[in-house]
Amino acid sequence: MVRRQRRTVIQAPFVSGLVLAGLLLAGCGSPVVPPATSGAAPAPDATTGAPSPGKTESGNTESGTAEGTQGTPPSDAATGTAPGTTTPATSPAAGAPPSSSGWKTFTTSDGTLSFDYPATWVIRDPAGEAPLGGEFVDVVNAAGKQMAALRTNIVTGAECGDQQPYLLIDSEPMQALTEPGVADQTVPRFVFEGRGDATAKDASPPTIASYGITMMPEETGPLSCPMFQLFLWPPSGALFGQAYDPAKNTTPGDPGLPYLEKAKLYATTAEYQDVRKMITSLRPAKGAVTGTVTEPAN
């Protein structure tokens, strides 16, 4: 069991220098959030066309599309919750857009994890090239923008420094990732959450929003410890998600809105529905051929 007062240790090569430099909370400990960008592989050039969605970095070819499992839409909190409140985000939002209809399933090269993703998106999987071992997978949309990163073999732990105003935008338990035989472990949850100043125009410590998987219990008050978006996965821990970035995450509304307001608006978009459905589909692979891309089961 990982408790709230343990030290956070991240193997630095797994988190980009941008994240380490830009997401540390001054005087508040180190938030553990998925990377904003990845150095594993360059994103496709949107002006020259994204790489074919039918190929992975290892050359595997996809074979058709199929309807994936449906995730729960974001809650009304996505449009009405302000920092300092902790309304659970588990009820569907009125008029939430549907996710994409064509989906594939990706299985990591070590054969341990699988997830579904839109057929028009691209998997960057330089198998065997990640420093210090582990999986180093990026998911890029058709416009060449990174939507999420999957990293494994990360040392887990948590340390609570100075607390910040807390914003819960969306949340869903992920029972499939619960470590077997650990009865007192908190069930991992998908979360889209924020910290910091509700009036800040841009992401700047301590103001940040991120979507990913956490094993921390849901907050019950207006303040929270720094973000901890990791979950237990052999041999240590893993992450799957990304820091919210209006330059990469297509967001409606006035570009001049405060950063956390943009994050709440993003949760109402079809793109977010795809991101959410993809991350919440993460599960232990069963009988899969390693390093392959396949159609998801109906």
61 assigned to some structural domain = no
27 assigned to some structural domain = yes
- pLDDT category at 92 given cuts 50, 70, 90 is very low
Neighbouring C-beta atoms of residue 204, cutoff 10 Å: 14
Structural contact between residues 168 and 78, judged by C-beta atoms closer than 8 angstroms: no
Render pLDDT for 103-126 as a digit per residue (tens, 0 to 9): 999 999 889 999 999 999 999 987
* Lowest-pLDDT range of 50-59, 143-152, 158-167, 243-252: 50-59
Structural contact between residues 247 and 235, judged by C-beta atoms closer than 8 angstroms: no
Length of the chain: 298
62 assigned to some structural domain = no
Q: What is the mean pLDDT of residues 50-58?
A: 35
220 assigned to some structural domain = yes
33-47, 152-166, 228-242: range with highest mean pLDDT: 228-242
Q: Bigger pLDDT: 157 or 278? A: 278
The residues, any chain, with a CB within 8 Å of residue 48's CB and separated by 6 or more, are none
Instruction: Report d(CA 143, CA 230) in Å as an integer.
Output: 27
- pLDDT category at 102 given cuts 50, 70, 90 is confident
Owning domain of residue 201: 12-40+72-294
| 167 beta partners | 85, 194
223 assigned to some structural domain = yes
Query: Considering all CA atoms of the chain, what is the largest pairwise distance in Å, rounded to the nearest integer?
Result: 51
Render pLDDT for 123-174 as a digit per residue (tens, 0 to 9): 998 765 655 678 999 999 999 999 999 999 987 666 787 899 999 999 999 9
Question: Reduced to 3 states, what is the DSSP secondary structure of residue 233?
Answer: strand
* Lowest-pLDDT range of 11-20, 50-59, 286-295: 11-20
Cα→Cα distances 270→89, 101, 178, Å: 17, 11, 28
**Number of domains composing the chain:** 1
88 assigned to some structural domain = yes
Cα→Cα distances 237→8, 119, 181, 203, 225, Å: 11, 28, 16, 26, 20
Half-sphere exposure of 155 (CA within 13 A, CB side): 9
Structure confidence at residue 31 (pLDDT): 58
Question: Mind giving me the DSSP string for 43-63?
Answer: PP-TTT-PPPTTB-TT--B--
Structural contact between residues 108 and 150, judged by C-beta atoms closer than 8 angstroms: yes
